[in-house]
Amino acid sequence: MNIKNSILSTAKKTIDLESSAISNLANLLTDDFSNAVELIYNSKGRVIITGIGKSAIIANKIVATLNSTGTPAVFMHAADAIHGDLGLILQDDVVICISKSGNTPEIKVLVPLIKNANNKMVAITGNIKSFLGQQADYILNAYVEHEACPHNLAPTTSTTAQLVIGDALAICLLELRGFSSKDFAKYHPGGALGKRLYLRVSDLSSVNEKPKVNLTTNVKQIIVEISEKMLGVTAVVEDDKIIGIITDGDLRRMLTKNDAFIHLTAKDIMSSNPKRIDENAMAVDALELMENNGISQLLVEHDGKYAGVVHIHNLIKEGII
């Protein structure tokens, strides 16, 4: 076997092994899981998630997922907790301890301190009979038969299992809270993801020029209007209502069909009933309409009246595409 095939074989074996372990997690779910979710949902406090080593890294990720989906969460490193950070835990907080073995020295020191403060504790552990498992109010079983590491040493499959359980917790809480895409946008205002959820057509069209002509506008004036407004298009408007559109493409087609065109007007070359969108629609809806119709501009309306143009370049600039 050459080196490339050997690499691919190892990668596939790793993926298959972890995927099988993750599938088995569903068989390990008990009432403790639903009870833990209800505990967190009904809590007046936050979720404090702690761990050490690789479990601490997973704890950080679960904290980020919970915070972004409506459940306030804070990370507390297990080693730092017993050297002062225990003050992070407030009276109504729920503590989640993550540990594969459930028997690490730091966990053995930390767990009694949490119990003494009367905070409810949830364990995510691969060993339900461990010290952590015996002390926790609720146990979320993250048992895996074997790490992906060929020596069964490096935390791989086990940390993936912890992560998946954290995701399951977050999604269950999300659904209980009725957390919507609008809520998600509120917590993710930056970047392309947030923009796809909150950016409206008016946010884009308002920065553009507003090219328009009427039915009797001659070809020369039409060319000037399209060139000056730099959107490759103009609306044909009558009484503030959109009745047609003229694009760069329409002008090119007109030139190929007519040797003499000075006498032509907008009425002769426009396309009737153009695609349009309301200015309050989401920017992603404008993108979908453009993609479905193979166009790069949309005329925008407000209360049925012409309000401007949104161009595919606006969507690209904002990172929607």
Calculate the alpha carbon distances from 243 to 101, 228, 239 in Å.
Answer: 71, 21, 10
Q: What span, in angstroms and rounded, lies between the C-alpha atoms of 26 and 215? A: 66
Q: For residue 317, what are the CA distances in angstroms to 193, 195, 261, 311?
A: 14, 11, 36, 10
Residue 169 pLDDT > 90: yes
Q: How confident is the model at residue 185 (pLDDT cuts 50, 70, 90)?
A: low
Q: What is the pLDDT of residues 245-302, one digit of tens each?
A: 999 888 888 888 776 777 889 998 999 989 999 999 988 899 999 999 999 999 999 9
Within the chain, all domains assigned CATH 3.10.580.10 are found at 201-317
| Phi, psi (rounded to 5 degrees) for 93 | -75, 145
If we measure between CA atoms, which residue out of 115, 316, 300, 282 comes closest to residue 182?
282
The model's pTM = 0.69
Please give the share of the chain, as a percent, with pLDDT higher than 90: 75
Tokens coding 213: 């002509």
pLDDT at 253: 87
Give the tens place of pLDDT for each residue, 5-58. Answer: 999 999 999 999 999 999 999 999 999 999 999 999 999 999 999 999 999 999
Fold of the CATH domain 201-317: CBS-domain (3.10.580)
pLDDT at residue 75, rounded to an integer: 96
31: annotated binding-site residue? Answer: no
At 179 the pLDDT is: 82
More confident site: 67 or 184: 67
The CATH classification number of 3-179 equals 3.40.50.10490
Q: How crowded is residue 313: how many other Cβ atoms within 10 Å of its Cβ?
A: 15
Render pLDDT for 84-126 as a digit per residue (tens, 0 to 9).
888 899 999 999 999 999 999 999 999 999 999 999 999 999 9
d(CA 219, CA 262): 6
Q: What is the pLDDT confidence band of residue 130, given thresholds at 50, 70 and 90?
A: very high
Q: Pinpoint the residues of the chain covered by CATH 3.40.50.10490.
A: 3-179
Return the DSSP state at 295.
Answer: -
Least confident piece of the model among 64-73, 141-150, 189-198, 284-293: 189-198
CB 319 within 8 A of CB 295: no
**Cβ-Cβ contacts under 8 Å for 134 (sequence gap 6 or more):** none
Widest Cα–Cα separation across the chain? 93
User: Does the annotation place 216 within a ligand binding site?
Assistant: yes
For 84, the token pair is 């002062």
The pLDDT of residue 132 is: 96
In whole angstroms, give the CA distance from residue 96 to residue 50.
Answer: 6
Write the CB contacts of 37 (distance below 8 Å, at least 6 apart in sequence). 169, 172, 173, 176
Stretch 127-153: mean pLDDT: 95
Mean pLDDT score across all residues of the chain: 91
| Strands 94-99, 47-51: pairing kind | parallel
The answer to whether 268 is a known ligand-binding residue is yes
Asked whether the beta carbons of 88 and 117 are under 8 A apart, the reply is no
